[in-house]
């Protein structure tokens, strides 16, 4: 970056030096139409023997009509600079120095006089010291860009009310878009934040403004603009090279106060990398788990429970592709390569209307675009995986690619795990490929591919494998300054298989898969400062193969069996309007109409009304033909949120939103298991419906460096899935006989204090939350906890998390992560009985006991090599300790009959102090 600026600056200076005129003193004449200053100055120079010194960067680009009739140089320049801040001074050697604001003194005290013709005195605003020449250059270049006046539009076009300004904010070094940057003007208070393509848009009346741009990890930028008519203003931001490590979660410094959204958290990859991780493997989902309102059943799982939602109620999008199983290695690590990911955004409450189909949250994971300027890469060596990542331009400034791979190389880490895993073997990989092609300034195509695979064998001879495959194509277009659109289409697949060939007669392989094809069209229409519309439609075609069992080998007598394939179409139309009522009040209202069609071919079982759904109560089975519409579900969903700000540092927000979910994960294990199946809503399984009310207070202190918030929510859930005792879920052609509809309620308070700048930064959050279920199915045929409310298996009321990071220097920082939570509920025995030769435990009520509380503290230290920008290879180390106190946090407490007696056990997953080290190379 600096090098680029240097070259640029040197070019400018050379240009200045060569602008040397000649000839005698005479009057200047001419009549110029729509001439810009640089041309005008060249014209002046041609006619005189003065030598003009100026920095073209600083010349205003406004065009003017001007005419002279044999006038002196002083008069000409005064006239030409009339509408600008430019001033000039002339020395005895006929040198003219043109500067902004303050004129160059042509006579200086002895010893300070620069050599005649040296222009650095004019170009460089500050004296050069010998501390860091590179830094000085960069500062200088920045100052130059900041002070320059940019002309937008045509001066001669009549001004009519508000004018739309749009543009892209990009990283000056890599050319990647800067997402979530806030672009604003102080007077009047108008602002916007950039979308995922770095695009922004807002409206202003004609005039001159200072445009401020702020973003995480970037130096704040300023642009002076002179606005005449609609136009573009692209801004390149400079990365904050020197302060590598900052903990930041919110989109922008003031955004938590200003935005209407609630319950949104954003983590950028730098912050994620700072959080100490299990075995040093940077883990996106575990990082999300540190956020208030997000929990998991236990350490063995990265399945997220957001505000009382179950694991399957999260829409996990990786560049628009739905990831059904976002984990590796028995669910312990998340399936996203941290080198590829740019940032993640979690919507816990205000879900934008363009998202739907899941009840509790949207986790939007975005990968980086490849470097537009040059080929770079990185490699990492950790205890769990090795990583390789390369990126660069295919066609300079137009087409870029990025490819990343990650794989494990050994089974040795089983040693860190409980005995249960001792004889297990596991391996996994994931791969990413992103290609971005810019057709022109208005149309950009993004192609992203993702693939992950896992194979493992859990302490026996059964082998499990699963994989995700996703491909998406996205076209982002700017139709006009006010209307932009994104058209996306793609294919997602998740499949798993279980096989065993130990016994030749029983050797089998079982396959499960979900495939989905989608098409989404999203448009943003910026009406004016008061209204911005977001609308579009999307459609999703599901094809689900719930299970196919087949024999393996010649001897096998396993009967091939296939549970019939399911298909459905989920379509939605939505419109939302962001209405800025006035400076203080802003309302975002959205409506999403969703329609779900369960399609044939399918056989639908009919059950006698009013009696429990059992196989005995099937009265009839109706067959439907191919593509026949069997069942419709749907309705309107509302997404409303409002913000009222009392001051720049204090606001209150309220929201309501409702959603429906048509695809459900069926699982009666505590942790999300790789063998969990998914099921589409059908006439016998109703869609889940949820609504959430939320209220929040946001207050910032010390000029927005300390953010505090309180958020309260209450959720109602209908048709929440629970399971009959001993439910059979896999290869069950009539799964509706084993599931139960419950109703759920979840409520909680989330408190957050965050300091995102300074040497010491981090956050502390406290969450109180409950999720309670109640069997609400008159024909369930069985009773759970006497029909009373009971806690779900991940109901953990209290949770305190503190993340602190201290930066000793630009190269060394340490992080400390502490977390405490209430133990999760489990089902415990109420008595003993003797049966089949052994004493055994008797169970009654579900989830009536809690395992001991959870506490963990982790430490990590990041050491970067030097920060020389020009160095070929950058090295960084992370080392640390997971579970510093070595506490044996229980994952489960259980009772087992062994040799005729009942023994109680407590199982911890990472019940020891686990040190780690991780090495990263950037080239």
Dihedral angle over CA of 805, 811, 812, 816, nearest 10: 20
**Is 894 a residue that touches other proteins (CB under 8 A)?**
yes
Figure out which of the listed residues 2, 425, 734, 906 binds other proteins, where binding follows CB under 8 A. 906
**Is 420 a residue that touches other proteins (CB under 8 A)?**
yes
- CA 775 to chain centroid, in Å, comes to 36
656 vs 789, which CB is nearer to other proteins? Answer: 789
Which CB contacts under 8 angstroms, 24+ apart, belong to 750-754?
750/292, 750/293, 750/709, 750/710, 750/711, 750/712, 750/713, 751/292, 751/708, 751/709, 751/710, 752/292, 752/707, 752/708, 752/709, 752/711, 753/706, 753/707, 753/708, 754/249, 754/250, 754/706, 754/707, 754/708
774 vs 888, which CB is nearer to other proteins? Answer: 888
Q: What are the Cα distances from residue 922, in Å, to 374, 377, 793, 876? A: 13, 6, 43, 8
**Is 833 a residue that touches other proteins (CB under 8 A)?**
yes
Shortest reach from residue 838's CB to other proteins, in Å: 4
**Is 458 a residue that touches other proteins (CB under 8 A)?**
yes
650 vs 879, which CB is nearer to other proteins? Answer: 879
**Is 611 a residue that touches other proteins (CB under 8 A)?**
no
**Is 836 a residue that touches other proteins (CB under 8 A)?**
yes
Figure out which of the listed residues 416, 491, 593, 855 binds other proteins, where binding follows CB under 8 A. 416
**Is 839 a residue that touches other proteins (CB under 8 A)?**
yes
User: Among the candidate windows 56-64, 239-247, 349-357, 410-418, which touches other proteins by CB under 8 A?
Assistant: 410-418
Distance separating alpha carbons of residues 592 and 362, to the nearest angstrom: 15
Q: Which helix (H) or strand (E) holds 839?
A: strand 838-843
Figure out which of the listed residues 112, 131, 834, 870 binds other proteins, where binding follows CB under 8 A. 834
User: Among the candidate windows 438-446, 487-495, 692-700, 908-916, which touches other proteins by CB under 8 A?
Assistant: 908-916
Shortest reach from residue 414's CB to other proteins, in Å: 9
Shortest reach from residue 734's CB to other proteins, in Å: 14
Figure out which of the listed residues 499, 638, 827, 879 binds other proteins, where binding follows CB under 8 A. 827
Shortest reach from residue 872's CB to other proteins, in Å: 38
Q: What are the Cα distances from residue 577, in Å, to 115, 583, 825? A: 62, 16, 42
**Is 388 a residue that touches other proteins (CB under 8 A)?**
no
**Is 905 a residue that touches other proteins (CB under 8 A)?**
yes
336 vs 910, which CB is nearer to other proteins? Answer: 910
Shortest reach from residue 894's CB to other proteins, in Å: 3
**Is 423 a residue that touches other proteins (CB under 8 A)?**
no
| CB proximity list for 449: less than 8 A, separation 6 or greater | 431, 432, 433, 434, 470, 471, 472
**Is 787 a residue that touches other proteins (CB under 8 A)?**
no
Figure out which of the listed residues 835, 866, 870, 872 binds other proteins, where binding follows CB under 8 A. 835
User: 786-807 burial, b for 16+ CB within 10 Å, e for fewer?
Assistant: eeeebbbbbbbeebebbbbbeb
Q: Report 321-340 residues binding other proteins (CB under 8 A).
A: 330-331
Q: Check: CB of residue 442 under 8 Å from CB of residue 484.
A: no
CA atoms within 13 A on the CB side of 217: 23
Q: What are the Cα distances from residue 273, in Å, to 1, 268, 449, 706, 911? A: 24, 9, 23, 22, 23
Figure out which of the listed residues 117, 504, 625, 635 binds other proteins, where binding follows CB under 8 A. 504
Shortest reach from residue 774's CB to other proteins, in Å: 16
**Is 548 a residue that touches other proteins (CB under 8 A)?**
no
| CB proximity list for 350: less than 8 A, separation 6 or greater | 260, 261, 262, 263, 264, 588, 639, 641, 655, 657, 694
**Is 902 a residue that touches other proteins (CB under 8 A)?**
yes
Q: Tell whether the torsion through CA atoms of 35, 39, 40 and 46 is positive or negative.
A: negative
95 vs 301, which CB is nearer to other proteins? Answer: 301
Shortest reach from residue 678's CB to other proteins, in Å: 17
Q: Report 280-299 residues binding other proteins (CB under 8 A).
A: 298
Distance separating alpha carbons of residues 161 and 156, to the nearest angstrom: 15
Figure out which of the listed residues 14, 395, 622, 896 binds other proteins, where binding follows CB under 8 A. 896
User: Among the candidate windows 97-105, 443-451, 704-712, 833-841, which touches other proteins by CB under 8 A?
Assistant: 833-841
Distance separating alpha carbons of residues 463 and 545, to the nearest angstrom: 20
**Is 417 a residue that touches other proteins (CB under 8 A)?**
yes
Q: Report 560-599 residues binding other proteins (CB under 8 A).
A: 561
**Is 907 a residue that touches other proteins (CB under 8 A)?**
yes
Grouping H, G, I as helix, E, B as strand and the rest as coil, residue 617 is helix
327 vs 692, which CB is nearer to other proteins? Answer: 327
Shortest reach from residue 877's CB to other proteins, in Å: 23
Shortest reach from residue 601's CB to other proteins, in Å: 24
Q: Check: CB of residue 586 under 8 Å from CB of residue 580.
A: yes
3, two tokens: 């090098």
- CA 402 to chain centroid, in Å, comes to 18
| CB proximity list for 131: less than 8 A, separation 6 or greater | none
674, two tokens: 């790789």
Figure out which of the listed residues 503, 623, 703, 885 binds other proteins, where binding follows CB under 8 A. 503
Shortest reach from residue 860's CB to other proteins, in Å: 20
**Is 855 a residue that touches other proteins (CB under 8 A)?**
no
Q: Which helix (H) or strand (E) holds 350?
A: none
Closest CA to 281 of 349, 351, 382, 378: 382
Figure out which of the listed residues 312, 910, 916, 918 binds other proteins, where binding follows CB under 8 A. 910
324, two tokens: 């059904």
User: Among the candidate windows 149-157, 250-258, 681-689, 827-835, which touches other proteins by CB under 8 A?
Assistant: 827-835
Q: Check: CB of residue 879 under 8 Å from CB of residue 839.
A: no
Distance separating alpha carbons of residues 79 and 75, to the nearest angstrom: 6
Q: Report 640-699 residues binding other proteins (CB under 8 A).
A: 668-671, 673, 675
Length of the chain equals 923
Residue 671, phi then psi, degrees to nearest 5: -95, 160
84 vs 892, which CB is nearer to other proteins? Answer: 892
Tell me how many residues contact other proteins (CB under 8 A): 79
112 vs 834, which CB is nearer to other proteins? Answer: 834
User: Among the candidate windows 180-188, 504-512, 598-606, 678-686, which touches other proteins by CB under 8 A?
Assistant: 504-512
203, two tokens: 């409206």
């Amino acid at each position: 970056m600096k090098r680029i600026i240097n070259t640029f600056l040197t070019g400018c200076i050379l240009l200045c030096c060569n602008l040397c005129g000649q000839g005698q003193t005479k009057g200047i004449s001419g009549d110029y139409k729509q001439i810009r200053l640089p041309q005008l100055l060249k014209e002046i120079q041609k006619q005189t023997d003065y030598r003009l010194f100026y920095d073209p960067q600083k010349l205003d680009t406004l065009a003017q009509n001007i005419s002279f009739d044999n006038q002196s140089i002083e008069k000409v320049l005064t006239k030409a600079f009339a509408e600008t801040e430019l001033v000039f001074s002339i020395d005895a050697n006929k040198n003219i120095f043109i500067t902004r604001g303050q004129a160059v003194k042509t006579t200086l005290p002895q010893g300070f006089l620069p050599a005649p013709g040296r222009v650095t005195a004019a170009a460089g605003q500050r004296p050069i010291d010998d501390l860091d020449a590179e830094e000085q250059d960069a500062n200088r270049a920045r100052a130059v860009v900041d002070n320059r006046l940019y002309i937008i539009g045509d001066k001669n076009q009549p001004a009519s009310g508000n004018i739309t300004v749009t543009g892209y904010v990009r990283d000056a070094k890599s050319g990647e878009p800067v997402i979530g940057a806030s672009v604003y003007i102080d007077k009047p208070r108008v602002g916007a934040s950039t979308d995922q393509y770095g695009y922004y848009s807002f409206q202003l009346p004609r005039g001159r403004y200072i445009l401020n741009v702020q973003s995480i990890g970037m130096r704040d930028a300023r642009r002076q603009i002179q606005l005449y008519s609609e136009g573009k203003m692209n801004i390149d931001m400079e990365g904050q090279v020197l302060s590598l490590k900052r903990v930041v979660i919110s989109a922008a410094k003031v955004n938590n106060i200003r935005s209407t959204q609630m319950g949104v958290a954003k983590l950028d990859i730098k912050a994620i990398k700072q959080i100490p991780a299990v075995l040093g493997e940077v883990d996106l989902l575990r990082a999300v788990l540190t956020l208030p309102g997000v929990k998991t059943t236990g350490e063995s799982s990265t399945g997220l429970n957001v505000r009382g939602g179950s694991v399957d109620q999260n829409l996990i999008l990786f560049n628009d592709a739905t990831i059904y199983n976002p984990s590796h290695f028995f669910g312990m690590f998340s399936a996203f390569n941290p080198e590829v990911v740019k940032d993640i955004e979690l919507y816990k409450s205000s879900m934008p209307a363009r998202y739907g189909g899941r009840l509790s949250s949207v986790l939007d994971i975005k990968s980086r675009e490849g470097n537009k300027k040059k080929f770079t890469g990185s490699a990492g060596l950790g205890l769990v995986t090795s990583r390789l990542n390369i990126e660069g331009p295919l066609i300079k400034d137009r087409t870029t690619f990025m490819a990343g791979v990650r794989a494990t190389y050994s089974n040795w880490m089983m040693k860190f795990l409980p005995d249960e895993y001792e004889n297990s073997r596991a391996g996994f990989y994931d791969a990413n490929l992103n290609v971005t092609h810019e057709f022109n300034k208005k149309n950009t195509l993004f192609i992203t591919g993702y693939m992950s695979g896992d194979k493992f064998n859990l302490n026996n001879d059964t082998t499990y494998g699963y994989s995700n495959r996703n491909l998406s194509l996205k076209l982002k277009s700017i139709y006009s300054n006010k209307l932009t659109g994104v058209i996306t289409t793609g294919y997602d697949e998740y499949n798993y298989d279980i096989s065993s060939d130990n016994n030749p007669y029983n050797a089998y392989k079982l396959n499960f898969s979900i495939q989905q094809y989608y098409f989404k069209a999203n448009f943003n229409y910026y009406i004016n400062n008061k209204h911005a519309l977001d609308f579009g439609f999307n459609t999703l075609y599901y094809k689900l193969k719930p299970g196919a069992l087949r024999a393996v080998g010649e001897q096998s007598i396993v009967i091939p069996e296939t549970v019939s394939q399911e298909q459905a179409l989920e379509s939605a139309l939505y419109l939302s309007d962001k209405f800025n009522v006035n400076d203080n009040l802003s309302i975002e209202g959205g409506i999403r109409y969703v329609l779900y069609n369960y399609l044939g071919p399918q056989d639908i079982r009919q059950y006698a009304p009013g009696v429990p759904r059992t196989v005995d109560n099937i009265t009839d089975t109706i067959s439907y033909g191919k593509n026949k519409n069997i069942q419709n579900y749907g309705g309107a969903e509302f997404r409303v949120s409002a913000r009222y700000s009392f001051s720049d540092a204090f606001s209150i927000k309220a929201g309501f939103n409702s959603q429906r979910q048509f695809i459900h994960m069926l699982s009666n294990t505590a942790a999300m298991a790789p063998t969990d199946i998914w099921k589409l809503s059908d006439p016998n399984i109703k869609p889940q419906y949820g609504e959430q009310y939320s209220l929040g207070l946001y207050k910032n202190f010390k000029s927005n460096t300390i953010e505090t918030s309180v958020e309260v929510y209450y959720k109602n859930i209908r048709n929440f899935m629970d399971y009959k005792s001993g439910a059979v879920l896999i290869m069950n052609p009539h799964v509706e006989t084993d599931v139960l509809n419950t109703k759920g309620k979840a409520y909680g308070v989330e408190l957050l204090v965050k300091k995102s700048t300074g040497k010491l930064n981090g956050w502390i959050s406290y969450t109180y939350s409950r999720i309670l279920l109640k069997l609400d199915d008159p024909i369930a045929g069985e009773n759970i906890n006497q029909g009373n409310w009971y806690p779900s298996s991940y109901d953990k009321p209290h949770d305190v998390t503190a993340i602190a990071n201290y930066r000793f220097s630009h190269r060394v920082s340490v992080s400390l992560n502490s977390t405490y939570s209430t133990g999760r509920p489990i089902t415990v025995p109420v008595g003993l009985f003797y049966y089949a030769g052994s004493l055994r435990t008797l169970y009654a009520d579900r989830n009536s006991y809690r395992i001991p509380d959870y506490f963990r503290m982790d430490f990590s230290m990041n050491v970067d090599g030097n920060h020389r920008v020009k160095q070929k290879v950058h090295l960084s180390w992370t080392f640390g300790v997971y579970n510093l106190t070595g506490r044996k946090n229980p994952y489960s407490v259980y009772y087992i009959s062994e040799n005729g007696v009942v023994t109680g056990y407590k199982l911890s997953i990472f019940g020891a102090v686990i040190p780690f080290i991780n090495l990263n190379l950037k080239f």
